[in-house]
Amino acid sequence: MKEKVQRARVLVVGDAMLDRYWFGAVERISPEAPVPVVRVNREEERLGGAANVALNVKSVGAGATLLTVVGDDEPAGRLRRLLAEHGVRSLLGSDAKLNTIVKLRIIGRSQQLMRLDFESQPDHEVLALMLSDYERVLPEHDAVLFSDYGKGGLTHIPRMIELARQAGKPVLIDPKGNDYARYAGASVITPNREELAQVIGAWSSEAQLHERAQALRRAQGFAAILLTRSGEGISLFDDAGHVQVPAVAREVFDVTGAGDTVIAVLAVLLACGVDLRTALPVVNRAGGIVVGKFGAAHVSFGELYP
């Protein structure tokens, strides 16, 4: 299996971000307001968003290419360096009208005290000039993964899905928003409970969830819906019906980026020719491992196949 993974290539398209962490000591409450004073003693930067998804693909042992658009600013330069350091191939368009997305987390006493987001909503189609790059590199990859964070980077996703399906590539989507029609024809989408409820409404029973999920799947032409359910594990809805894998029992430290790991590992396995139902236990194990780590973490091949 390891050799298959090493040969696999996944193209990741979506909204890339730079995750910054400020760690510090909390020893008193501010006299100015009822908030803790954090004396910062360490800073750390990590790949976030679609860049973290690509890193997860690479960490498992497969090849990853990230296609996205960033700003012409300092965080964009840092993203480029981090991607290069981690061996992730990148096709980064540069748009001076954009601010590269930065999420700054302030950590004290091993807890996240605050998150500050720096971003700008684009007023134009930021990936419009990247379609030719997408078409050029598509044949080199075994699967295409769209990481949609709702930041405006995937305006052209229907056309990109169409091109990928014409090329016979599995298409995986981490969705956002309540319009799943734009993802029509995807091989598999991977919403969490809250994201799926935005589309099909809150369900009052398992039977109602199954009925609504299957109706959505058929209406949009998805081969499958993989629903991540936190403590309840994951559920797969496909033509054969429904199968659920219970959560891996372990202490949850941080759920940040867990969805990135799940879809990245699934993309690698599909790129290797593994079918969805066979991949399910491995994907579930990956999610269980990563929530036991701090921040937007990742897993290795050795952790998945000990």
Residues known to be catalytic: 260
Contacts of 235 (CB under 8 A, 6+ apart): 209, 213, 226, 227, 229, 242, 243, 244, 245
| Best CA proximity match to 105, nearest among 256, 268, 269 | 256
Q: Tokens for 207?
A: 């039977």
Bridge pairing between strands 188-189 and 171-174: parallel
Tokens 């400020």 -> residue: 22
Q: What's the DSSP call for residue 247?
A: P
For the chain, state the CA radius of gyration: 19
In terms of DSSP H, where are the helices of the chain?
2-7, 50-60, 74-85, 131-137, 157-166, 193-200, 206-220, 258-271, 276-290, 301-304
**Three-state secondary structure call for residue 89:** strand
